Amino acid sequence: MSQPAPQLELRSVTKRFGGVAAVDDVSFEVAKGEIIGIIGPNGAGKTTLLNCISGVYGLDAGDIRWGGGSIAGMAPYRIARLGIGRTFQIVRPFGSMTVLENAAIGALFGRDSARLAPKEAFKQAGRVLELVGLAAKASLPVSALTIPDRKRLEVARAVATRPHLLLLDEVMAGLNNVEIDEALDMVRAVHATGVTVLLIEHVMRVIVGVCRRAIVLESGRVLAEGEPEVVLRDERVIQAYLGERYAKRLKS
């Protein structure tokens, strides 16, 4: 089976804050149509990595390539226009707007070749809300939404930009089991529309549930990479999450 050409390619990406390398020499590829998960303990550099890809941070070393060209150091809005959408771990809704208007902003802007006029953008926003299960709440102000719904809205807004690649930053964090199942269905539905998904998660269930491939980060470095079930049994991964003593006990 021939490997499809990588859509996103990270080459030795490094980001330092002062003396600390939050992301240290990270390289991997994401193929078109994939769902890939990035996991790792708190402070492993997951969100920093995502900020690097989406242009929120510049790189200290390395390169990020998208469809063959370098996007390292590009402004966030230009990266969004190339078709890379993202969500924020701490949701950042447009507070004075309704749910529909929030999603419409994504449709009004976003990927260059797919920009819509206001009227069309609102229609598109309506369709996206349906996809993520927020259609019934379209006319509510954001302040009326529950936490899980706000996370859905965060995803809806990013999906409305019609990205080729969607970066999801812990959209399941803080949700209960039932809510996680619903959110998983939402991610699968978005993926089924042809969007490549890279998701950062803390919750193992999520990674196992939707990803075919997972990358484990620890202290800014790639610790392991492969099928989620295999990666999660990796001794180094267990050690990173639960400590050396627990890993030894598990082994014996």
Partner 1 sequence: MVRGDSNRRWRRIFLILAAIAGAYALLAPLTSLDAAQSANVPLLADRLWFRLATITAMFIVMATAWNIIGGITGYAAFGNVAFFGIGAYTTGMLIAKARWPFLLSLPLAPIVAAAFAALVGLPLLRLRGHYFAVASLGVGVAVGELVQNIDYRGQPVFGGASGLFLPIYAIDNRGLFFFYLMLAAAAASIAVTWLVLRSRFGYGLIAIRENEEAAAVLGVNTTAYKVAAFSLAAALTGLAGGIFSQWNVFINQDNAFPIEYNVQMILMALLGGTGTAFGPAAGAVLLQLLIQFLGGTLPISIDIPFVSTTARPVVAQIILGLLLVAVVIFVPRGIIDFFGGRTRLSLGYLRRSLRETSL
**Interacting residue ranges for partner 1, rule: CB under 8 A:** 54-56, 75-77, 79-81, 85-86, 88, 92-97, 101, 104-106, 108-112, 115, 117-118, 121, 157-158, 161
What CA–CA distance (Å, rounded) separates 196 from 5? 13
Please identify, using beta-carbon distances, which residue of 26 and 158 lies nearer to partner 1: 158
We find the least distance from the C-beta atom of residue 165 to partner 1, in angstroms, to be 13
Token reading at 36: 């890939």
We find the least distance from the C-beta atom of residue 51 to partner 1, in angstroms, to be 10
What CA–CA distance (Å, rounded) separates 46 from 23? 8
Please identify, using beta-carbon distances, which residue of 54 and 239 lies nearer to partner 1: 54
Token reading at 138: 């379209």
73 burial type by CB count under 10 A (0-12 exposed, 13-18 middle, 19+ buried):
exposed
We find the least distance from the C-beta atom of residue 18 to partner 1, in angstroms, to be 22
Please identify, using beta-carbon distances, which residue of 81 and 137 lies nearer to partner 1: 81
Please identify, using beta-carbon distances, which residue of 67 and 76 lies nearer to partner 1: 76
Q: Are 164 and 83 in contact (CB under 8 A)?
A: yes
What CA–CA distance (Å, rounded) separates 207 from 232? 10
We find the least distance from the C-beta atom of residue 187 to partner 1, in angstroms, to be 18
